Amino acid sequence: MKLTTQQIGKCGELLVQYYLLLNGVESAPMTTDSGIDLVAYSKLGNRAYTIQVKTNLKPKPGGGKGRLAIDWWVKEDSTTDLFAFVELETKGIWIIENKEIPKLSKQHPAKDFTYLWLLTRRLRKEKMVRL
């Protein structure tokens, strides 16, 4: 069975919620899509955080023929506190502060968007928070 893009996105959101809860962080989905998918409450920080979840089903060849990579498009004017980047095949989750995205981005090919990508063999070496 092939998953739709909506199903892939929802799987990513649920996986992030699962890992947050395993780490003692409560979260809830937003009712509508306004660029924020989840709101999470941290007892440690005693505050709420907004999270946008970006999900890939599995790695794909970079440029169509290159090494396997995962990638995400991020709106540069996003107001979310955190991004949760998900790769479903390995259940990998990387949570990154919004302000860190420009530093990690490899390209800015489209107006108002940043393009973030990782080669799959580098995943375990990246300096990102991984739950």
pLDDT given for residue 18 in this prediction: 96
Cα gap 4→49, rounded to integer Å: 28
- Alpha-helical runs (H) found in the chain: 5-22, 101-104
Structure-token pair, residue 36? 């924020």
What's the mean pLDDT when you consider all of the chain? 82
pLDDT given for residue 15 in this prediction: 96
C-alpha R_g of the chain? 15
Confidence category of residue 117, pLDDT binned at 50, 70, 90: low
Torsion of the alpha carbons at 61, 97, 6 and 41, rounded to the nearest 10: 150
List pLDDT tens digits, range 20-71: 999 889 999 999 878 899 999 988 878 899 999 999 999 888 777 888 888 8
**Spatial contact of 90 and 57, defined as CB atoms under 8 Å apart:** no
